[in-house]
Structure 1
Amino acid sequence: MKPLGSIRRSFAPWADPAAKPYIVFENVSKVFGDFTAVDDLSLSIYEREFFALLGASGCGKSTLLRMLAGFETPTRGRILLDGQDLVGIPPYRRPVNMMFQSYALFPHMSVEDNIAFGLKQEGMPKAEIAKRVTEMLRLVKLEAFAKRKPHQLSGGQRQRVALARSVAKRPKVLLLDEPLGALDKKLREETQFELMDLQQDLGLTFMVVTHDQEEAMTMSDRIAIMDKGKVCQVATPAEIYEAPNSRFVADFVGSVNLFEGTVARREGSAAVIEGEGITIDTDNGSDAPAGAKVWYAVRPEKIKVSARAPEVMGPNTAEGEVWDIAYLGDMTLIHVRLPDGRVVRTSQLNRQRVVEEPLTWNDRAWISFARDSGVVLTR
């Protein structure tokens, strides 16, 4: 597949057939009574990758993380880390560390003592502990707070203390379970970039569990979308967003319009789809044959909405009326209701302070989109 979106960096070992995965889940299942939390799941993660497990509550992502950490034992299958089967190895013997949403800091200990705790448990010499703690404090920019107790810190500072404690032992893999869930929106956004920088500086493999789509899209090299204990798609953030492999993934990540229809004809990769109230002419026809039932997925920002009728009402255009409007400052969301009752979601960037063609409720409006705006889905 041709790369989609901007390239954050050249790091992409999953695209190299010769690259060896660092973490491997082989046909792993976890059953609790009559409930299957993880269902015959296979997944490969590479060294130094920032990997995200994204899904709704109860999809099995935290269970998967806990099995890698050693807090849960797979019912079936096996988990390998750097070629070593982890079966039977207790959590404290595994070269991984886990950071929880609650941070689990010791309230009676200072910041530096919290960071040093795991190192003392391992019997590291005092001089080395002091050196490592100083390095961690500098890394998370908390040198001035070394003597404070957790209750004297802000939420973001406590999060950084927990992070410093987690990486102080130099684990091969750092597992993060909803690490930013307790932070407010602005601080969460700032901390996302701090985590990315820290992961690059340390050269560790990060595996994060989150239900926050924006968090996963911002931080990770690749994302695994999970549902009912299974992996639905594994890809880069850009590929997940621009080229979802199913209606579930398209609908789960961001906002999307799904037009149902039938493939009328094919010409190479292009296809013409006869939908309800709209004909779609697309370059991205997938492999759906003529006569197949399909869904055309197109994101709201890819759809143009205008108060003026096009000169020619051809494919990829439809007439409707403005149903809902939401002004968000940087963009405006406009919902257009088509004659058949379908509501099409569009979003327009507010590039100028003055709108040349203002739209309001119940106005006639025309939507249109380019041939390469969306993707055809067969399931």
Structure 2
Amino acid sequence: MAKKSVGPVRREFTPWENPDHPPFIEFRNVSKKFGDFTAVRNLSLKIYEREFFALLGGSGCGKTTLMRMLAGFETPTSGQIFLDGQDLAGIPPYRRPSNMMFQSYALFPHMSVEKNIAFGLKQDKLPQAEIDDRVAEMLRLTKLEQFAKRKPHQLSGGQRQRVALARSLAKRPKVLLLDEPLGALDRKLREETQFELMNLQEELKMTFLIVTHDQEEAMTVADRIAVMDKGELIQVATPSEIYEAPNSIYVADFIGDVNLIEATVSEVSEDGTKLHSTGEGFLIESSQTTEAAPGDKVWYAIRPEKVRIAKGQGDAGAFNQVTGIVWDIGYLGDVSIIHAKVGADNRDILRATFANVSRMVEDPITWDEDVVLSFDRDAGVILTR
């Protein structure tokens, strides 16, 4: 029988699944207060060597504060931070085995690319021969050899971003901290640079920690993601687990697009759970078991791409099937999004997406048409919080 997993597995690298594997970075009961405001609240987190880890959340969730405490730019109000087994308390930023790449890049405008990269190495008084070797290596890794003599103002945004990255990596830190590193790039360049970052991290076998509010960016680059809200960790898991098995309404709603259906538990058995939707007025049969008891209110989260849509009325008595009327259609080129009004009085909206695999579509679905929407028993997740 073929092995199943939640979403695709990018590589066989899962040290977090071994309870005896020592963490490379560890936050132990860390809190940070600014006056009466608590930015980080009693947070504990383990990050492993060679991991590409993402801190993801909206503005003010505490992700940047957490990174700044690791870098030494902020001091925890309480708790401890360890890096490679060393307690970082009292160690200034310039003596920590980490380097931080800022969103603004902070390049020296009067210096060439190669001199920008060499700056930190000269500050550390490394031999000139070693400096030259490291600068050459960074230029090669970041594909900047032909731009070595240029000044920052002579470069594109993506090239300046790579200079900042090369300068951060030149000192060979134990961990590279990336604070919204791609925020200034346009969408296409940002997507290309995400894969460059992944390949670079894999080649250097370093630990990368990235702070971002961009869900797609975190999902693309990271081995694991920590979703944060109001200074707390809501869920820490792989990108596919975060997307396919969110542990709460917050995570399900924050990551990607989702239908959140309020429902009441009608039956729980070893074979799964039966729900009755509150607003849409249809039955949901799930293969998932739940701790909720019959009569409890829950939410059923299902991604739009898991919802099938077809013309017609369907079988009103079938599970996981509801009739509706097409209210809106969005054509995005690669996919189409359909919003259908469902329920007894057509008050509620259920979203479905499908890939446009053919250029020509025979008898396409259009506005105000009667449709039937359906999904499999294992397509969604029951959430109790």
**TM band (smaller chain):** over 0.9
Q: Provide the C-alpha distance between the structure 2 equivalents of 1:228 and 1:142, rounded to a whole number of angstroms.
A: 40
State the AA in 2 paired with 1:377.
Answer: L
Q: Which residue of 2 aligns with 1:319?
A: 323
In the alignment, structure 1 residue 358 sits paired with structure 2 residue 355 = no
One of 303, 306, 309 as aligned partner of 1:302:
306
Q: Could you say which residue in structure 2 is the equivalent of 1:15?
A: 17
**Structure 2 match to 1:250:** 252
Q: What is the CA-CA distance between 1:260 and the residue it aligns to?
A: 1.1
| Cα-to-partner distance string for 1:213-262 (whole Å, 9 max, x where unaligned) | 00000000000000000000000000000000000000000010111111
CA distance in 1, matches of 2:107, 2:164: 7
Task: Provide the rounded CA distance (Å) in 1 between the counterparts of 2:153 and 2:53.
Answer: 31
Name the structure 2 match of 1:120: 122
Corresponding position of 1:163: 165
| RMSD across aligned positions (CA) | 1.1
1:63 equivalenced with 2:65 (yes/no)? yes
AA at the equivalent of 1:346: A
Tell me the equivalent position of 2:355: 349
Query: Where does the alignment leave 5 or more consecutive residues of structure 2 unmatched?
Result: none
Amino acid aligned to 1:354: M
Q: CA deviation at 1:353?
A: 1.6
**One-letter amino acid of the counterpart of residue 159, structure 2:** Q
Q: Which secondary structure state, in structure 1, belongs to the residue aligned with residue 247 of structure 2? A: coil
Partner of residue 284, structure 1: 288
Using the size of structure 2 for normalisation, the TM-score is: 0.96
* Matched residue type, 1:8: R
The equivalent position to 1:52 in structure 2, one of 51, 54, 62, is 54
Contact between 2:314 and 2:323, CA under 8 Å: does it hold in 1?
Answer: no
Does 100-109 or 344-353 show the bigger shift?
344-353
Residue 191 of structure 2 aligns to a residue whose secondary structure is: helix
Q: Higher mean Cα deviation, 206-215 or 301-310?
A: 301-310
Q: Give the secondary structure class of the aligned counterpart of 2:60.
A: coil
Question: What residue number does 1:180 align with?
Answer: 182
Q: Which runs of 4+ in 1 moved over 6 A?
A: none
**Take 1:230 and 1:330, find their aligned partners in 2: how far apart are those partners?**
36
Which amino acid is the alignment partner of residue 89 of structure 1? I
Which stretch of the first structure deviates more once superposed, 332-341 or 136-145?
332-341
Aligned length: 378
Distance 1:65 1:269, change over 3 A: farther
Residue 233 of structure 1 corresponds to 235
8 A contact 2:305–2:353 mirrored in 1: yes
Report the residue type matching 1:42 in the other structure: S
| Displacement of 1:184 | 0.5
How far apart, CA to CA, are the structure 2 residues paired with 1:312 and 1:377?
25
Q: Report the equivalent of 1:329.
A: 333
Structure 1 residue 360: Cα displacement: 1.7
Superposition deviation, residue 7 in structure 1: 1.0
Q: Alpha-carbon deviation of 1:269?
A: 4.9
| One-letter identity of the residue aligned with 1:244 | P
Which shifted more, 97-106 or 15-24? 15-24
The CA distance in 2 between the partners of 1:54 and 1:269, in whole Å, is: 35
Tell whether the 8 Å contact from 1:335 to 1:346 is kept in structure 2 after alignment: yes
**Displacement, 1:311?**
4.4
Q: Which whole-Å CA distance do the structure 1 matches of 2:202 and 2:330 have between them?
A: 39
Determine the C-alpha separation between the residues in 2 that align with 1:289 and 1:311: 28
Tell me, in whole angstroms, the C-alpha distance in 1 between the residues paired with 2:250 and 2:149: 49
1:24 partner amino acid: E
State percent identity of aligned pairs: 65
2:192 paired with 1:211: no
* Distance in structure 1 (CA, Å) of the matches to 2:303 and 2:289: 16
2:53 matches 1:85: no
CA contact (8 A) 1:317 1:368 kept: yes
CA positional deviation for 1:289? 2.5
Separation of aligned partners in 1, 2:5 and 2:375: 22
Residue deviations 1:184-234, cap 9 Å, x none? 000000000000010011111000000000000000000000000000000
How far did 1:170 drift? 0.4
Report the AA paired with residue 366 of structure 1: V
Q: Which amino acid aligns with 2:340?
A: V
User: Which residue is 1:191 aligned to?
Assistant: 193
Q: Which moved more, 1:59-68 or 1:269-278?
A: 269-278
- One-letter amino acid matched to 1:231: L
Could you tell me whether the CA contact under 8 Å between 1:307 and 1:357 is conserved in 2?
no
| Mapped contact 2:315–2:321 kept (Cα < 8 A) | no
8 Å CA contact 2:30–2:78 kept in 1: the answer is: yes
Instruction: Write the distance in 2 (CA, Å) between the matches of 1:117 and 1:197.
Output: 25
**CA distance 1:311–1:317, change in 2 (3 Å):** closer
Supply the AA of the counterpart residue of 2:110.
H
Q: Distance in 2 between matches of 1:65 and 1:228?
A: 15
Amino acid at match of 1:28: V
Take 2:253 and 2:315, find their aligned partners in 1: how far apart are those partners? Answer: 32
3-state SS of paired residue (2:182): coil
